[in-house]
Chains A and B, each alone.
Chain A
Amino acid sequence: MERLLFREKRTFKHGIHPRDYKHFTRDLPIERMPFVREYVLPLSQHAGAPSRPVVKRGERVFRGQLIAEPAAFVSAALHAPVTGVVAAVEPREHPAGKMVDAIVIQRDPHSPQTLFNEHPIDWSALTPSELLEIIRLGGFVGLGGAAFPTHVKYAIPEGKYARFFFVNAAECEPFLTTDYRIMLERYPHIFSGIRVILKILGSEKAYIGVEDNKQEAIALLRETMPSDLPCEVVPLKTKYPQGAEKMLIEAVLHREVPSGRLPIDVEVVVNNVGTVAAIGELFAYNQPLIERVVTITGPGIHRPANLLVPIGTRLSDVIAHCGGMKDNVRQVLFGGPMMGMPQRSLDVPIMKGTSGVLFLTDGEVVPRREYPCIHCMKCVDACPMYLNPSLLGMLARVRRYEDMLEHYIMDCIECGSCSYVCPSNIPLVQRFRVAKALLREKMARERAVQG
């Protein structure tokens, strides 16, 4: 049975097969970025309410010290990435294109950058709720890109049970190699992280889902897996968007998350492998989330790298460290090419959810003319959520947003597969994002009127 499953290669239906372009950085070991002069930490780096600062201008902070506390249940704490002085708390440019209040820390060049109160935490003596509180105060969010606060995921609602814990190491976005390098270099932390999370959730089993273009990582994880850990490494077919949590669950368990529901409704909690490794490090060193691995890649950068970057490092500092940009750079993206966010300024900081920085040149960024939909249905065959992007696109073009609701627009995961395959170059995902934003606003207005 096991061999049979292995041969058929677990995956989901539909999806696309872009070239993976991981050769830029896949063989480069993780490299620590040297400390720079100034760090910018936006108070809103995660999904949910912005954090509330607990330090003032001029205050001295130590590396790993709490500088902003979670302001609500769905919110996250923030810690100083370096020892230094708080230079300001003021609006600064945010990668999402807003001005957001940020804590600016100037590094003290004369102090050692040791961790504030470093010691291993003996997690086996603590109860699940105590462990959850440690994670909450550690400022943990999903490191895959959406930056959803981790402690909220672990707070299982009454009457539900997380039977399975999934470690998402698919890394289906082209170019990115962050998760791959973490698996090769930090696997002990992944395993200790899984142990802690299994204790919090009380799950029966953990799965690590890895795409089969990372054979070295699959082999290494299987070899080094502690025999007493109820965990299985699942090789997945290399296909985009295999790393979307709903696709991952479908591939491994053959369970479909119902429309408008969460993975917990099919007894699953999913975490990115980087988050799990960071939780392992938290209990090993008492190190909150103050740095992360970022893939600096693309044809537009002189020296691609897998960098361990303190959170809050400005993009311009990262570029300087990587030998500068080439002259013909046209687009700089936070994240991968499929779902990444183009940046308008090089002053923005690396955030908790920044998995990679991609530099594209004239050769890749070609403006394309949009043609009418020819109903070829390529997008229907590509959509992993079984939606009809062709129809939705036509409705969005004439602004019939409410009719789109009947065609399940809110289930769209914005993976970009439809735009990728469209021969008419219709910017489908962009239209869907506009539609979803307007519909969400409208629903909020209606709720406000009723309430």
Chain B
Amino acid sequence: MDIVTAIGFIAVLSVFLAVALAIANSKLKVQEDPRIGRVEEMLPGANCGACGLPGCRAFAENVVAGKILPGQCPVGGPETARMVAEYLGVDAGQTVKKVARLLCAGNREVAPQIAEYDGYPSCRAAAAVTGGFKGCVYGCLGLGDCVASCTFDAMFMAPNGLPMIDVEKCTGCGDCVRACPKGIIELYPISQHLIVQCKSLLAGDDALAVCEVACTGCGICAADAPEGLITMQHHLPIVHQDRLSLETELATLRCPTGAITWVEGQQFPELFYPLKTAKQKAKASRVV
């Protein structure tokens, strides 16, 4: 008998709650633009924050509201931007693909260490201890904070102590830029070929004393380049991004240290591609 009472009570209760839920569903319904959900599906879904908003959902809401343009998602690239723009019937906006570039070529052989460091293996920690162990205070410490921060598997450390950035995987989200305590990773348009792989503000022999491939601030590249493309500032050449149409390889030919380089796609290609192949092979053999 008891069990029948119990079953009856639960049955009545469930009917009552179902009715309550049905009423609540119709009365308290949140009206939401269905397009937000669709746009969110089109986005990469990495929730990386590279657009400056907290996640892809927020980006979708802002795009639908017309506050920003689809092209401002650096991760999705032109393809996503075009898709979203077509769906919403708005302008895609600027879609220059930007990638992270390493502005230091001072690997272990050319930029020696002057001190030992046996603390916590993080660039940020090493830099906090009197700027790190490298002779050059501007250069890459090689402890891999940027690699750890990359959510797209686009970076790995080369055995020479420099991080390698895979331009095919890099989305330009800027996480590594923020992770680097030395500020030697910057986002450049992928179409920019002239890259100054040095951030040392030292000039002449002072710069060469700590790194063989440092920029000495001689200014030859600025003189060789077309008018207005490169100007010298604090003993470093600045490539003006609004004049990239003038770019020419001539500017790199007479550089005494090779600090300014002509990059097509991948930085350090002769080092990068063998390493990447080796990595892929190792990964494949692990899977088997």
Contacts and interface: CB of A to CB of B under 8 A. Distances in A.
Nearest to A368: B118
B13 interface: no
Contacts of B122: 434
Interface in B21-66: 52
A98 interface: yes
B131 A96 contact: yes
Contacts of B132: 97, 344
Interface string B103-126: 000000000001100111010110
A91 B131 contact: no
B127 interface: yes
B74 to A, nearest CB: 17
Interface residues of B, dominant DSSP = loop
A434 B124 contact: yes
Nearest to B133: A344
A437 B125 CA distance: 10
Contacts of B130: 95-97, 341-344
Interface residues of A, dominant DSSP = mixed
Contact of B120 (A97, A399, A430, A441): A430
Contact of A98 (B114, B120, B131, B133): B131
Interface in A271-285: none
Contacts of B115: 342, 344-345
Contact of A434 (B125, B137, B138): B125
Given A433-B125, A437-B128, A99 B202 contact: yes
Interface in A27-68: none
A430 B181 CA distance: 15
A112 to B, nearest CB: 34
Of residues B128, B132, B133, B201, which shows the largest number of chain A Cβ atoms within 10 Å of its Cβ?
A: B128
A342 B138 CA distance: 18
A441 B177 CA distance: 13
A205 interface: no
A437 to B, nearest CB: 6
B271 interface: no
A93 B120 contact: no
Nearest to A370: B120
Nearest to B181: A437
Interface in B127-150: 127-133, 137-138, 148
A427 interface: yes
A87 to B, nearest CB: 15
A363 interface: no
A449 B54 CA distance: 13
Contact of B128 (A344, A433, A449): A433
A344 B131 contact: yes
Interface size class of A (residues with CB under 8 A): 20 to 34
A91 B202 contact: yes
Contacts of A341: 129-130
A93 B137 contact: yes
Nearest to B130: A97
B104 to A, nearest CB: 15
A91 B236 CA distance: 14
A260 interface: no
A431 B114 contact: no
Nearest to A366: B118
Contacts of A95: 130
A434 B120 CA distance: 10
A367 interface: yes
Interface in A432-448: 433-434, 437-438, 441
Contact of A431 (B125, B178, B181, B202): B125
Contacts of B114: 344-345
B177 to A, nearest CB: 12
B131 A427 contact: no
Given A91-B201, A344-B114, A430 B125 contact: yes
A91 B114 CA distance: 19
A97 B129 contact: yes
Of residues A97, A345, A438, which shows the largest number of chain B Cβ atoms within 10 Å of its Cβ?
A: A97
Nearest to B128: A433
Of residues B118, B120, B133, B178, which shows the largest number of chain A Cβ atoms within 10 Å of its Cβ?
A: B120
Contacts of A345: 114-115
Interface string B223-245: 00000000000000000000000
A314 to B, nearest CB: 15
A98 B132 CA distance: 10
A434 B128 contact: yes
Given A97-B137, A341-B129, 20 more contacts: A91-B201, A91-B202, A93-B137, A96-B131, A97-B130, A99-B137, A99-B201, A343-B130, A344-B114, A344-B115, A344-B131, A344-B133, A367-B118, A427-B120, A430-B128, A431-B120, A431-B125, A433-B125, A434-B124, A434-B125
21 contacts: A96-B130, A97-B131, A97-B132, A98-B131, A98-B137, A99-B138, A99-B201, A341-B129, A342-B130, A344-B114, A344-B130, A344-B132, A345-B115, A367-B118, A427-B119, A430-B119, A431-B120, A434-B124, A434-B128, A437-B128, A449-B52
Interface of B: 52, 114-115, 118-120, 122, 124-125, 127-133, 137-138, 148, 178, 181, 201-202
